[in-house]
């Protein structure tokens, strides 16, 4: 299911944007549809109220917890079963974080990752992506979502951006706390730098140009939209290019107007500065020069004021050399960037190993000393042999 399909279903039941907004807020935040002086029973149209139990059952069936695997330090891996029986993984992270999957399997085929060993099986719909957040929020608070689980978000970009748009608006998650990860695909940079809405998520169904509807009146003219809500006093919503004025307090949080596209933070899976080695480690990633990838990422970082998070899975004897450190320093010098070193998480059947803790610490310290912010991010699941994709692989094997 996609969010745009859900919106169309609500529209067909007589829902106006304010009704859609309240339902999507309640679902994505695991909260009530009721508001002070405006209970859902009198707010939603009758047809929607009658269909609501079926809609809620369908949404609940998008993602079901199959098993939970604590991994220490506030981390837990969730094996999630989708409506068709396919499984993906989500990870509860410390400080309100959640890592979600965007595909069943992956087509990139990173040699150190279990997720792509069987290739790409199918895409996740945007509602299935959000459903992982809903499932996690039923267990604990979630204030940050990283799209770094199973799958390559660039290969499912429409669904990923729809999910990001909803989570950054109705889902009440700060835009910089939505982190889109990619191995590097020009389509990602093009879409993220575009001012338009993600495909299918413009509530007014108007193409946007420079942040306003293309067919909207000139800036000095105002567009009056009357939101007629069931059993409530109709209110006039007066909008200008810059947003809404004259809104009633009840509608202020529920308006669906010219909301700008949510701009997530960007994580770029780099793993090496050597082009030939990167082609071996990420065999089906786009063959783009590493310097070009960094320049595209830097342009986005400067445009959004969010530093790019460079992801680097540290593998002993492969990409943990002094030569790599020197090239990282050259590549990222003066860039708005953070280097995240992630020690390799053991994968069944692979001979790769993680470097020693001392070597990992030395690499981070060396970059920090050169003015390049470097952090060590432990890969959740080391203790339970649960690197990304392993829980799903074991569950599939057991069937």
Query: What are the residue numbers of the active site?
Result: 89, 388
Give every CB contact of residue 350 below 8 A, 6+ residues apart in sequence: 111, 112
What is the rounded CA–CA span in Å between residue 172 and residue 230? 26
261: tokens are 């596209």
Quick check: 288 and 184 in contact, CB under 8 A?
Answer: yes
Q: What is the dihedral of CA 31, 36, 40, 42, to 10 degrees?
A: 180
Beta bridge partners of residue 339, listed in sequence order = 310, 374
What is the rounded CA–CA span in Å between residue 279 and residue 108? 11
What is the rounded CA–CA span in Å between residue 63 and residue 133? 9
What is the rounded CA–CA span in Å between residue 182 and residue 154? 6
β-strand 235-240 against 374-376: which pairing, if any?
unpaired
Give whole-number Cα distances, 398 to 76, 304, 323, in Å.
21, 45, 43
Residue in this structure with the two tokens 């859900």, named with its chain if needed: 6
Give whole-number Cα distances, 253 to 248, 249, 256, in Å.
9, 8, 9
Quick check: 157 and 190 in contact, CB under 8 A?
Answer: no
Q: Which of 172, 150, 129 is nearest to 26 (CA)?
A: 172
């Amino acid at each position: 299911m996609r969010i745009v399909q859900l919106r169309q279903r609500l529209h067909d039941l007589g829902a106006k944007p304010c009704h859609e907004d309240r339902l999507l807020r309640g679902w994505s935040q695991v909260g009530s549809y009721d508001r002070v002086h405006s209970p859902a029973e009198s707010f939603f149209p009758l047809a929607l109220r009658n269909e609501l139990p079926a809609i809620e059952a369908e949404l609940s069936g998008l993602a079901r917890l199959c098993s939970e695997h604590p991994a220490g330090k506030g981390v837990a891996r969730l094996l999630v079963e989708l409506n068709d029986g396919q499984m993906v993984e989500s990870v509860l992270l410390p400080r309100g974080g959640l890592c979600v999957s965007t595909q069943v399997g992956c087509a990139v085929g990173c040699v150190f990752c279990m997720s792509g060993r069987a290739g790409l099986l199918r895409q996740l719909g945007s509602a299935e992506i959000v459903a992982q957040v809903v499932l996690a929020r039923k267990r604990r608070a979630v204030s940050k979502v990283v799209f770094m689980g199973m799958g390559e978000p660039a290969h499912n970009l429409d669904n990923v951006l729809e999910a990001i748009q909803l989570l950054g608006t109705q889902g009440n998650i700060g835009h910089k706390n939505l982190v889109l990860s990619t191995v590097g695909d020009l389509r990602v940079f093009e879409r993220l730098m575009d001012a338009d809405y993600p495909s299918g998520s413009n509530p007014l169904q108007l193409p946007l140009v420079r942040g306003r509807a293309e067919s909207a009146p000139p800036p000095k003219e105002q567009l009056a939209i009357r939101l007629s809500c069931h059993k409530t006093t109709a209110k006039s919503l007066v909008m200008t290019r810059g947003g809404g004025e004259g809104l009633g307090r009840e509608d202020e949080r529920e308006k669906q107007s010219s909301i700008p596209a949510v701009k997530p933070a960007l994580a770029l899976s780099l793993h090496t500065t050597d082009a030939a080695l990167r082609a071996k480690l990420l065999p089906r990633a786009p063959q783009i020069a590493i310097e070009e990838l960094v320049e595209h990422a830097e342009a986005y970082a400067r445009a959004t004021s969010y530093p790019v998070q460079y992801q680097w899975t540290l593998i002993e004897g492969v990409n943990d050399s002094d030569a790599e450190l020197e090239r990282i320093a050259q590549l990222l010098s003066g860039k708005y960037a953070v280097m995240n070193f992630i020690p390799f998480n053991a994968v069944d059947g692979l001979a790769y190993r993680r470097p020693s803790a001392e070597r990992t610490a030395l690499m981070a310290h060396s970059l920090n000393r050169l003015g390049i912010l470097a952090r060590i991010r432990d890969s959740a699941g080391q203790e339970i042999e649960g690197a990304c994709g392993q829980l799903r692989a074991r569950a599939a094997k057991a069937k």
